Amino acid sequence: MASSQTGYDQPSSSNRSLLKNRIVHIGCGAFFRAHQALVLEKLNQMLPSDWGYTAVSLFSGMPFIQELRNQDHRYTVVEQDHNTVNVQTVESIIDSMHPSLDGIDAIINRMAEPQVSIISLTITEKGYCVDPNTRQFHATHPLIAQDIATPKTPKSALGVIVAALSLRKERGLPALSVMSCDNMPHNGEVTKAAIVAYAKLIDPELAEWISAHISFPSTMVDRIVPATTDESLQNIESLAGKFDPCGLMTEPFLQWVIEDNFVSGRPQWEKIEGVSLVKDVQPYEEMKLRMLNGSHSFLAYTGFLSGYEYISDTMADPNFKEMTRRLMLDEQKPTLQELDDINLVDYSELLLNRFSNPYLKHKTAQIATDGSQKLPQRIIESIGILAKEEQSFAALALATAAWMRYLKGVDENNQPINIIDPLSEHLLSIANQYSTADSMIKALLSEESIFDQSIVQQQPVIDAITRAYVNIEQKGAKKASWKLLFSQHVLLMMSFAIYSPPI
């Protein structure tokens, strides 16, 4: 598409001519473009610098890369909620690459250019080729097995990064930092462990060099950025006054907590509101993964099964909204460390408002993807903590049971569900080969790659998930959620009646 059709035919800002390819980002999806690329854009407007992005897509996304090139890598981001509408042009990406357009060699060489200081990643949980439960590197993963056989023409993100680091070492270039921006706990450590384990298999000396010289900062990233739809593109066009096939809708909220551990410099991200550089990201990661992402997964499975297309529709149902609040405050909050700068009750209210944003059009089906990779850190770890302390985890059990019901592959109106998950075939076959709920639940829970057996083999955990599953099967997800909410309410009233002093 010619750039004149998109309205990006005006000259770009004068600061843009200063930009160099200092950060190579793998995973040029919506989240990266409305979060990290936008932060750098704001920073470059405030403090002109040479920090610019090369955005790489390794698998899908070739037509998108072509669209982005057609408009000189400029695109529109609309931030919208009930109170705010902001329309911004992002220009911090100055180049883009895709193996089918440029060849893998060119991508590896770009990362091995001397001025590159950071390689960052949004490749989703499955892109790290680690076991979702233990987060150990998965050396037999088909993509990795292929890369081990042909390490100079890798396909996986890990393989590409290691090939580039090998070139940098060979050329005597400065080390750099590899920064994961995906929703995984300890994402820096997991990335380092996977990269070093892979490098060990192809070149043990390189593995040592990586361990000693490359830093892997952890990050917590947060902004809700739904996949673009025709409707959101129309909304962007009406607000921006031009059609932009690369445009994005997001919310005004943005948070990015980054471990300050960069070996070759970094942009002054902390100048931008919502971004902080800290020593220890872990408490922020856990808070976000459990409160936000855990609630998201709960709403995605129960909401989808109840017939809701969007998260905001699910939240418009007062029972679901209250159930989400209870899940956060009664079952996730007690598992978290208190933070000096964030009050968790206020945080939960903020999340309820963010989820209710009707402009976002965030599909329950989108969040329901890749459940096998998401459940451990969002739901199961908390169940483990609560079970140990003999506290209730009924809402988390309901979320797990809703995922299991979803895996049946047909919704409550007998319509097929398109299950997207790296383990979909295997999980679908388990979900459909047993005649009783008990045996199906037991078989799913014994999947060691997903579930920590020391948690899910406890009888109270099996019982709570089975109870929730049977309720969903008999009443549907909506009524099962209402029933749970009602029983919690009754319990609360009873404890109030028992413990309140006589008048």
What ranges in 219-293 are assigned the alpha helix state H? 230-240, 282-287
Does residue 331 touch ligand CS2 according to CB under 6 A? no
Minimum separation from the CB atom of position 88 to ligand CS2 (A) = 18
Does residue 122 touch ligand CS2 according to CB under 6 A? no
Does residue 58 touch ligand CS2 according to CB under 6 A? no
Q: Which is nearer to ligand CS2, 290 or 374 (CB)?
A: 374
Question: What phi and psi, each to the nearest 5 degrees, are found at residue 91?
Answer: -130, 15
Does residue 183 touch ligand CS2 according to CB under 6 A? yes
Does residue 119 touch ligand CS2 according to CB under 6 A? no
Q: Which is nearer to ligand CS2, 15 or 255 (CB)?
A: 255
* Cβ(311)–Cβ(296) below 8 Å: yes
Minimum separation from the CB atom of position 286 to ligand CS2 (A) = 14
Helix/strand/coil for 199: helix
**Residue numbers 219-238 binding ligand CS2 by CB under 6 A:** 222-224
Minimum separation from the CB atom of position 232 to ligand CS2 (A) = 15
Q: Which is nearer to ligand CS2, 126 or 223 (CB)?
A: 223
Contact partners, residue 84, CB within 8 Å, separation at least 6: 252
Q: Which is nearer to ligand CS2, 183 or 332 (CB)?
A: 183
Strands 20-26 and 51-56: parallel
Window contacting ligand CS2 (CB under 6 A); options: 63-71, 288-296, 335-343, 395-403: 288-296
- Take residue 427 and report the two structure tokens written for it: 């999980």
The DSSP line for 80-137 is E-SS-EEEEEE--EEEEE-HHHH-HHHHHHHHTSTT--EEEE--TGGGG-B-TTT--B
Strands 75-80 and 248-250: parallel
* Cβ(355)–Cβ(367) below 8 Å: no
Does residue 296 touch ligand CS2 according to CB under 6 A? yes
Does residue 357 touch ligand CS2 according to CB under 6 A? no
Entry field: residues in the chain? 503
Closest C-alpha to 348, from 365, 362, 358, 336? 336
Minimum separation from the CB atom of position 194 to ligand CS2 (A) = 20
**Residue numbers 81-100 binding ligand CS2 by CB under 6 A:** none
Minimum separation from the CB atom of position 220 to ligand CS2 (A) = 9
Q: Which is nearer to ligand CS2, 84 or 432 (CB)?
A: 84
- Take residue 43 and report the two structure tokens written for it: 């920073």
Q: Binding ligand CS2 by CB under 6 A: which of 187, 293, 348, 400? A: 293
How far is residue 482's CA from residue 430's CA, in Å, rounded to a whole number?
Answer: 28
Does residue 367 touch ligand CS2 according to CB under 6 A? yes
Q: Which is nearer to ligand CS2, 156 or 377 (CB)?
A: 377
Contact partners, residue 320, CB within 8 Å, separation at least 6: 299, 302, 303, 306, 314, 478, 481
Does residue 324 touch ligand CS2 according to CB under 6 A? no
Q: Which is nearer to ligand CS2, 197 or 368 (CB)?
A: 368
How far is residue 381's CA from residue 13's CA, in Å, rounded to a whole number?
Answer: 47
How far is residue 177's CA from residue 266's CA, in Å, rounded to a whole number?
Answer: 9
Closest C-alpha to 118, from 24, 26, 29, 39? 24
Give all strands of the β-sheet with 118-121 in edge-to-edge order.
93-97, 51-56, 20-26, 118-121, 177-180
Give the C-alpha distances (Å, rounded to integers) separating 359 from 88, 220, 311, 314, 354.
Answer: 17, 24, 11, 14, 10
- Interface mask (CB under 6 A) for ligand CS2, residues 123-162, using x and -? ----------------------------------------
Q: Which is nearer to ligand CS2, 91 or 259 (CB)?
A: 259
Q: Which is nearer to ligand CS2, 183 or 348 (CB)?
A: 183
Minimum separation from the CB atom of position 183 to ligand CS2 (A) = 5
Residue of this chain nearest to ligand CS2 (CB atom): 296
Minimum separation from the CB atom of position 216 to ligand CS2 (A) = 20
Minimum separation from the CB atom of position 296 to ligand CS2 (A) = 4
Window contacting ligand CS2 (CB under 6 A); options: 174-182, 290-298, 403-411, 438-446: 290-298
Minimum separation from the CB atom of position 404 to ligand CS2 (A) = 18
Total residues binding ligand CS2 (CB under 6 A): 10
Contact residues for ligand CS2, defined by CB under 6 A: 183, 222-224, 292-293, 296, 366-367, 374
